[in-house]
Structure 1
Amino acid sequence: MKNKPLNEKKVFVYSSVHVWNDTRIYYKEIDTLLKAGYQVEQMAVETTQQPEFRQNLTQRLFQKGSRFKRFTRWLSIYKAIRQSDAKYYHFHDPELLLLLPILRKKKGVFLYDMHENFPKALETKAWIPAALRTPLAKIVKRMEQRCLKLCDNVIFAETSYKKDYSYVTQRYDDILNYPTYQEALSSPESVEQTLIYIGGIEENRGLWIMLEALKNLKQSGYEDLKLKLIGPIFEADNEKIDVFVSKNGLMSNVERLGRIPNDEIGAHMANATAGLCLLKPIPNYMESMATKMFEYMSAELPMIVSDFPMWSELMEETQSGYSVNPLDNLEVVNAIERLLKSKKLQQEMGANGRYHYEKTYNWTAEGKKLLALYEVATSEVLNESTVYQPTF
């Protein structure tokens, strides 16, 4: 692999899975790099939203397709990296670790941005047959351990990941997934009673928990209560939702907006009464802090969240919402109803959340950590005459 002179201010950001406007990748990390004067090349998956022109940013987008088409994307990424003169290669998918043994013949700094504890997540993936999940997770963990040795830096999106990655001995940093800083939203004088959820929408993320709660609340007299779902939904789930809302008379109460531009989400939160984050108690969820909780804080939106230990501690610290057992429908409904009945409680919890968001839980400090990581990588990188020689 021919080595070109490296551009010290150029970053190649790549993913075979994430869409180009993924919030963490584009609106936080790429935006931070561009504002700091870096040039950025991005490879990611297209969406219906057209990319915007930004100086010093070039993008190559993959067409949407099944997960089995990812293999062809790997080849495209490999070829593009071979031709790139970027100093830094910042990637976001565990599967792309498999390219490192051949890519490490190229000079440059490789940074793996870990969005989830992948081996642990495999144990609950619905598309994997149940009998294969644990054996597959063990195999993947061994492969991941070997490939991670070829990274220059590892970025953890959650502090909890480190306990399962004690073997990572190279430079690593916690760059947490707090939302970008936004000025306080101005709420309209009159707001319909609306529950809102932002993020991937499926069973393990509380889809049916939210719908059952809405059904019970409507039966209790909240005839006009709305549930607004913002995020991608699998087509099979959409069909099941159609059946559920039709059967229970909720056609006018459930609004599915799908994935919408990041700058439109704030207006929907400003018009909501409470935010929901009722994920099921799956190990990978229980040890992560859902970004949507901090987004709700930014919008002064009180919330109802699952009673995972870390989440309950956050609610106790910030007094910005209630933590409940997501599998206890009555407990969920009662918590929502307490908020619906008290405008004063909504305002107090919303203000508490906004205070802690401004003080601690926003991207500003995390962006500085990202730039510091690049500066350290520059000072520590191997000299240009040296390349990695994989040992497996």
Structure 2
Amino acid sequence: MKYKVTHLTSAHPRYDIRIFLKMCSSLAKENYLVNLVVADGEGDEVCSEVNIFDTGVKAKGRIERMTKTVNRVYEKAKELDSDIYHLHDPELIPIGVRLKKLGKVVIFDAHEDLPKQLKSKPYLNVFFRKTLPVVFSLYEQFVFRKFDALIGATSSITNKLKKINSNSFTVNNYPILGELSSASSTTWDVRANEVCYLGGIAEIRGIKQVIASLAETPNIKLNLAGRFSEKHVEEEVKSWEVWNQVNELGFINREEAAKVLGRSKAGVVTFHDYPNHIDAQPNKMFEYMSAGLPIITSNFPMWKDVVEGNNCGICVDPMDSHAIAEAVNYIINNPKEAELMGSNALAAIKHKYNWSVEEQTLFKLYKELL
């Protein structure tokens, strides 16, 4: 008999890397009957042996998403009558409580430390940025005790969760081995004098400093893939003279991402010093590494442990565009050392930072809960 497990998301895209590509796909290969409930209006489908159920049109705003969308997700979850429910968004926590009352096994997956994240939300005023983290922390302490297990996407998140619920585990968001292997196989001498930034584009993710650094790297291009989350930031940087050094690619799929990584000589991830960034492990950092790229990262302690511990890149002050430019120029002007950094990055992925290691924690937890 196959056990039925259902992953729930009201905010993430259906092909989300952590939820669909890693967790759901791995569980399906492990012989679970896997459902994924989404809310994007793109219809139901079966993909990679995962049954995707769409609860309707994507919400027009946060309020609608946290009310109507959440209710639709709950109704579909109840209809699917599964052995395990795995929740991926904070607004779904009340659903978890309701499912527990029905006698279901419930896991909450904390992708972020939400109280810390709320402190840096640009749409919140100063009052709410101070009060909401406190309120949500108290809410977590009350509710998370009721769940069967908690998962943290980093060890720092899990350490906090363990104080609330001892049945807490870390499942890091490390890349899938071989997924970007075509990029890592590109020899250094045929790569262009280009660096890349892939992922969500925002001011607090350092995009203004990255683009400003191009003024000191006149012969180097930036491959920029992703969508701007703030219109005013997009308009500002596009008005700068150095914008002509940017290859704007927009949103790209995984195959296109591999091609971009394969022609670049470094990957940049210089998030600003916000509470939720310091203890984060951004996908893009490890994906750059899995493509055999040296990485230029913020000088946060956790990130320095990865970069300097594996000699696979350069850590900089994310607020200093000059420091970013110096790092880029060093990598471009020292090809042998840069290639060694890239090789070290790939070796670290193969031996430590990969999904095949992390999925074992997921499998073990599911077996213990059933």
Q: CA deviation at 1:61?
A: 5.1
Any gaps of 5 or more consecutive residues in structure 1?
1-6, 379-392
Q: CA deviation at 1:89?
A: 0.3
Deviations 1:105-133 (A, max 9, x none): 21221010110110111011101112221
- 1:297 matched to 2:296: no
Partner of 2:196: 196
Moved more, 331-340 or 161-170: 161-170
Q: CA deviation at 1:143?
A: 1.3
Deviations 1:267-307 (A, max 9, x none): 21111110001000111111122221211111110111000
Deviations 1:236-262 (A, max 9, x none): 15xx434433431523x2233333222
Partner of 1:245: 238
CA distance in 1, matches of 2:341, 2:49: 40
Q: CA deviation at 1:62?
A: 4.0
Deviations 1:217-239 (A, max 9, x none): 22xxx2xx2212222322515xx
Q: CA deviation at 1:60?
A: 1.5
Q: Which amino acid aligns with 1:290?
A: P
> Aligned match of 1:40 in 34, 57, 64?
34
Partner of 2:186: 187
Q: Which amino acid aligns with 1:317?
A: G
Give the direction of change, closer, same or farther, for the CA distance of 1:247–1:285 in structure 2 (3 Å limit): closer
> Aligned match of 1:72 in 62, 68, 71?
68
Partner of 2:223: 228
Q: Which amino acid aligns with 2:167?
A: R
Bigger Cα Rg: 1
CA distance in 2, matches of 1:206, 1:49: 35
CA contact (8 A) 2:34 2:49 kept: no
SS at match of 1:323: strand
Q: Which one has more relative contact order, counting CA pairs under 8 Å at least 6 apart?
A: 1
Compute the RMSD of aligned alpha carbons: 2.1
Q: CA deviation at 1:46?
A: 3.0
Q: Which amino acid aligns with 1:263?
A: E
Give the direction of change, closer, same or farther, for the CA distance of 1:235–1:121 in structure 2 (3 Å limit): closer
SS at match of 1:339: helix
Moved more, 181-190 or 347-356: 181-190
Q: CA deviation at 1:22?
A: 1.0
CA contact (8 A) 1:33 1:371 kept: yes
Give the direction of change, closer, same or farther, for the CA distance of 1:156–1:332 in structure 2 (3 Å limit): same
> Aligned match of 1:90 in 68, 86, 94?
86
CA contact (8 A) 1:20 1:47 kept: no
CA contact (8 A) 1:198 1:292 kept: yes
Q: CA deviation at 1:329?
A: 2.1
Q: CA deviation at 1:48?
A: 8.3
CA contact (8 A) 2:25 2:48 kept: no
CA distance in 2, matches of 1:20, 1:125: 24
Give the direction of change, closer, same or farther, for the CA distance of 1:50–1:375 in structure 2 (3 Å limit): closer
Give the direction of change, closer, same or farther, for the CA distance of 1:286–1:159 in structure 2 (3 Å limit): same
Q: Which amino acid aligns with 1:42?
A: L
CA contact (8 A) 1:49 1:261 kept: no
SS at match of 1:176: coil
CA contact (8 A) 2:41 2:56 kept: no
Partner of 2:144: 148
Alignment of 1:119-198 (within 5 A): 119-182=115-178, 184-185=181-182, 186-187=185-186, 190-198=190-198
CA contact (8 A) 2:150 2:161 kept: no
Moved more, 209-218 or 254-263: 254-263
- 1:321 matched to 2:317: no
Q: Which amino acid aligns with 1:138?
A: V
SS at match of 1:284: helix
With the length of structure 1 as denominator, give the TM-score of the two structures: 0.87
CA contact (8 A) 1:215 1:250 kept: no
CA contact (8 A) 1:152 1:170 kept: no
Give the direction of change, closer, same or farther, for the CA distance of 1:276–1:190 in structure 2 (3 Å limit): same
Partner of 2:268: 276
Q: Which amino acid aligns with 1:152?
A: D
Partner of 2:356: 364
Any gaps of 5 or more consecutive residues in structure 2?
none
Alignment of 1:20-35 (within 5 A): 20-35=14-29
SS at match of 2:190: coil
CA distance in 2, matches of 1:141, 1:283: 15
CA distance in 2, matches of 1:363, 1:338: 31
Q: CA deviation at 1:320?
A: 0.5
Partner of 2:334: 342
Where is the helix percentage greater, Structure 1 or Structure 2? 2
Q: CA deviation at 1:44?
A: 1.8
Q: Which amino acid aligns with 2:186?
A: S
SS at match of 2:365: helix
CA distance in 1, matches of 2:265, 2:45: 32
SS at match of 1:250: helix
SS at match of 1:154: strand
